[in-house]
């Protein structure tokens, strides 16, 4: 056995999206070792800057306030955390600190992750307190709702949506999450009446290219004449929750869907009847366990 770097385990990727005012940031860390990331999630949740934290599959997600907040690290109780999150129009700078193994996580494990532009880290390991600063591109969240790509004979929308998202995944438009959203079982349904929302973290002008690629893939592989694709670039989609609850509890019209989309800045990329469910899926991004319950 030969381990080239036995005391380092690099995260698969670290990405961060900011709101329009650069006041809120969601840091998304793609884990290489869920055990270590679960430990970090517990301790980082206690950082004053952290508003909310959760694990979605192997992605650790931290909703944080931008700013500085020095940490009072204590062994075993509050052994690591997020100390600083600074945002400008192009980049986000994140500083982590930790004790012992938490210091290794705060430095070398994160410094060389996919998506990191540059880093500055201290010596870590043993009983040391260590700090690491990484700089990542400032990204914007892009949500894509998809419905009605299949028929009673062929396909499933959720599989096509994932396969297209996986195919277009890149560092400029990173594929973050895929969520199935249960809808009201209307008579026209194929079988289970489920829409899909895809979440991407995009850099700068990559959104237009991303949407064009997804649209092209849907038009090529969909077997339905009523395919719907909608897109929203925003930090969240909570303004659409009332519409979504209507769609998940009864039948609604396409006219209401178009009106709601226009009022909330949602793009209608493919405007078949599937836009009804596609729009309803948007506010449930990354809320996988809740979204499947009608």
Distance CA 22, CA 25 (A): 7
Mean pLDDT confidence for 232-243: 97
Each residue's pLDDT tens digit, 143-157: 999 999 987 777 889
Domains of the chain (ranges plus CATH)? 13-137 (no CATH), 139-291 (3.30.70.2200)
Q: Report the alpha-carbon angle 135-139-143, nearest 5.
A: 150
- Residue 276 phi/psi, 5-degree rounding, is -60, -55
Per-residue pLDDT, averaged over 86-101, amounts to 94
Question: Does the pTM of the predicted model rise above 0.75?
Answer: yes
Contact 170, 114 (CB under 8 A): no
Confidence class for position 164, pLDDT limits 50, 70, 90? very high
- Residues 209-224 have pLDDT tens digits of 999 999 999 999 999 9
The percentage of residues in the chain with a pLDDT greater than 90, rounded to a whole number, is 81
**pLDDT, tens digit (0-9, with 9 covering 90-100), for 191-208:** 568 999 999 999 988 999
Q: What mean pLDDT is reported for the chain?
A: 93
Reported as a pLDDT band with limits 50, 70 and 90, residue 186 is low
- Taking residue 186's Cβ as centre, other Cβ atoms within 10 Å add up to 14
Tell me how far CA of residue 200 lies from CA of 88, 135, 178, in angstroms.
20, 19, 9
The residue written with tokens 């955390």 in the block is 81
CA gap 181, 20 in Å, rounded: 27
Note the helical H segments in 145-202.
157-168
């Amino acid at each position: 056995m030969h381990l080239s770097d036995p005391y380092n385990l690099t995260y698969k990727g670290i990405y961060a999206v900011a709101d329009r005012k650069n006041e809120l940031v969601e840091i998304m860390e793609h884990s290489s070792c869920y055990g270590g990331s679960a430990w970090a999630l517990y301790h980082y949740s206690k950082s004053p800057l952290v508003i909310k934290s959760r694990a979605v599959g192997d992605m650790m997600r931290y909703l944080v306030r931008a700013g500085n907040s020095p940490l009072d690290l204590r062994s075993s109780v509050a052994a690591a955390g997020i100390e600083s999150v600074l945002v400008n129009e192009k980049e986000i700078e994140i500083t982590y600190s930790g004790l012992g193994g938490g210091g290794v996580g705060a430095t070398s494990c994160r410094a060389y992750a996919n998506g990191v532009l540059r880093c500055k880290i201290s010596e870590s390991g043993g009983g040391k307190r260590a700090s690491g600063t990484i700089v990542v591109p400032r990204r914007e969240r892009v949500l894509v709702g998809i419905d009605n790509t299949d028929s009673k004979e062929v396909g499933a929308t959720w599989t096509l949506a994932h396969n297209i998202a996986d195919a277009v995944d890149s560092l400029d438009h990173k594929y973050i999450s895929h969520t199935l959203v249960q809808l009201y079982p209307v008579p026209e349904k194929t079988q289970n009446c489920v829409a899909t929302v895809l979440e991407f973290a995009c850099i700068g002008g990559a959104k237009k290219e991303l949407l064009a690629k997804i649209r092209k893939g849907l038009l090529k592989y969909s077997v339905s004449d009523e395919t719907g694709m909608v897109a929203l670039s925003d930090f969240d989609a909570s303004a659409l929750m009332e519409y979504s609850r209507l769609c998940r509890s009864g039948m609604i019209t396409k006219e209401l869907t178009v009106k709601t989309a226009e009022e909330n800045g949602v793009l209608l990329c493919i405007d078949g009847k599937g836009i009804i469910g596609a729009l309803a899926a948007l506010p449930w991004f990354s809320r996988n366990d809740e979204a499947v319950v009608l």
